[in-house]
Chain A
Amino acid sequence: MNPLLSVHNLGFSYGEDGARPIFSDVSFSVASGDVFCLLGPNGTGKSTLLKCISNVLHGWQGKIFLDGRDIAHMKPAEVAKGISYVPQSQQSPFPFLVHDIVVMGRAPHINVFSSPTQKDRDIALAALETVGIRHLAHRPCTMLSGGEWQLTLIARALAQQPRLMILDEPTSHLDMGNQVRILRVVRNLAEQGLGIIMASHFPDHAFIAATEAAILNGGLMHHKGRPDEVITAENLEAAYGIVVKVLHIGAEVNRKACFPTLHTSAP
């Protein structure tokens, strides 16, 4: 059986004739119900990798299969029916209502010359319900906080009714409460059978919500596997260049957690 998504030897470079390679030879796969957490330092190409898989960026090398079909041979709308993408952050110069934005998730299901129907609007409302912000439906997006924007974008991605959702650092710029609310939504969606790929700056978030993790560093994907195999003191030290302790916290937490220190080398 084909996994939901499989990526083979993916590479991407900017500039003429691959002058500036971002990453190369990246291979992994994601199944339904997986939460795949992509870690790595700033500027290492996590966002670029996610944009390639979401069909936002073109011109990559390698193969991306969705349900066994090569997405390079699929129409943009077909890919968008299977894969939805939640950008890192969003702003709008126009005060579209939250509901109007979530309805935009129906785009791959709607003909170019048509507009959303009542059915599409109902699906959008259900998506708002799922992420818990139905009460914001009629608020202008220019009046949203960072967390509310993120949930709106997740609802929009959900309205696409995809099989795989890709989130680019969904918890950056958010306070602790909103971070955990987003992780809870992500986890619930995976439990309902959605595949999830999420880039993050917080290794702890992989312990909290992920079933798989990987570290992208220096243009290559190192160490993929279960979060507690991948997120180790040695691997984090190699990726981020700092000293980190990874400890298991018992009692009511009962999971591993990362503790960065100010030491310059392991004591």
Chain B
Amino acid sequence: MPSAEHKSAVGANRILFILAILLVAVATTSMILGHLYIAPGQILRIFAANVLPMERTWSPAVESILLDVRLPRLMAGMLVGAGLSVSGAAFQGLFRNPLVSPHILGVSAGAGFGAALAILFFGNIIAVQILSFVFGLLAVLLTYCLSRVYRSTPVLMLVLSGIIVGALFSAGTSLIQYVADPANEMPSIVFWLLGSLNNASNRDMVVVAPIILVGITVLLLIRWQINLLAMGEEDARALGVDTTRIRATVILCATMIAAAAVSIGGIIGWIGLVIPHIGRLLAGPDNKILLPVTVLVGAAYLVAVDTIARTAMAMEIPIGVLTSLVGAPIFAYLLRKNRSGW
């Protein structure tokens, strides 16, 4: 039925268009809201003044809040949200399991250990970012090598190795928390583990944005291959897929994204698990459409949650707490709704 085919392609484009508008709306709201209200017209004028010769009628403080605080934080929210969501969707296809998140291979456990180590020994934010990124990658590398030692079902071995490596690094993090100074090191480790985009700066964005963007782009490029992997290792091979190479590419991209995300935002849970499910509800299971949808939904969702995290109360709510608080009930609802299959 070519007409039905055509209709579904049109449907996919319409969903993407609506989600893109939603993302713009959420992003704009996020720029407006905060301890200081900045009117939409004002925001446009401030942006314009940076490219056109215009007279500045506002205080430099307002401009700084918009460009140096809210803008990088908005970028971080969009990139981390989109990146974790699209990696989650790719991993769920790769592992043929809708309950998998990008953290399954131990990236967050490794990054958490790296961050705790940096807080204990160096105590500055740059060291925290670098060590969390490096240890996040290291943990997944260990998982990958460990899974290759056993010569049986590669996907199952990856998950089991991820559990082993994750447990080791979590134990290390607990040990560091135990020996850390309870007056200030301890709270900053805990705060970091709960996740926050509070520290996102333009300087971070220059380093982190390209890593996340490259990861997202590669995953989007090979998104149809993920359908093939979702049919299982043997089927994919029989269809001529170089499964080892595609799997390694997906793992590399998702890990770079997750490690980069964790290094600027701490451990933000649930989003990589829940957003792909919302995406499937909107667009169906075909990764060709699902992956672009999760990019937009994930970006809009995390920016919305982050805006709530910094405006709802006088003090900032850790974003990881909010994503779990919001994500868990959504997931419970989806489980009920999706009884016929994912």
Which A residues are within 8 Å of any B CB, using their own CB?
51, 54-56, 75-81, 84-85, 87, 90, 92-97, 100-101, 104-105, 107-108, 110, 112-116, 118, 121-122, 125, 137-138, 140, 142-143, 160
Contacts and interface: CB of A to CB of B under 8 A. Distances in A.
B288 A115 contact: yes
Given A95-B341, A95-B342, A112-B246, A56 B238 contact: yes
Given A104-B231, A121-B5, A94 B342 contact: yes
Contacts of A140: 340-341
B286 A143 contact: no
Given A104-B231, A107-B228, A115-B224, A93 B97 contact: yes
B224 A87 contact: no
Contact of A104 (B96, B227, B237, B342): B227
A160 B239 contact: yes
B222 interface: yes
Contacts of A54: 238
15 contacts: A77-B240, A79-B240, A85-B235, A87-B234, A87-B235, A92-B230, A93-B96, A93-B230, A94-B280, A94-B341, A97-B284, A104-B231, A107-B241, A112-B246, A160-B239
Contact of B227 (A96, A125, A137): A96
Interface in B1-38: 1-2, 4-5
Given A78-B240, A95-B342, 15 more contacts: A56-B237, A80-B239, A87-B234, A87-B238, A90-B231, A92-B96, A93-B96, A95-B285, A96-B285, A104-B228, A104-B231, A108-B240, A118-B5, A121-B5, A137-B1
A120 to B, nearest CB: 10
Contacts, number: 97
A63 B210 CA distance: 47
B242 interface: yes
A183 B221 CA distance: 40
Contacts of B230: 92-94, 96
Interface residues of B, number: 35
B98 interface: yes
Contacts of A51: 234
Interface string B259-294: 000000000000000000000100011101000000
Nearest to A95: B341
Contacts of B4: 138
A225 B166 CA distance: 56
Contacts of A97: 284, 286
A88 to B, nearest CB: 10
B108 interface: no
Given A87-B234, A107-B228, A96 B286 contact: yes
A160 to B, nearest CB: 7
Interface string B164-177: 00000000000000
Contacts of B285: 94-96
A107 B224 CA distance: 9
Between B232, B238, B280, the greatest number of chain A beta carbons within 10 A of the residue's beta carbon is seen for: B238
B161 interface: no
A108 B237 CA distance: 10
Interface string B327-342: 0000000000000111
A93 B98 contact: yes
B101 interface: no
B129 interface: no
A54 B4 CA distance: 34
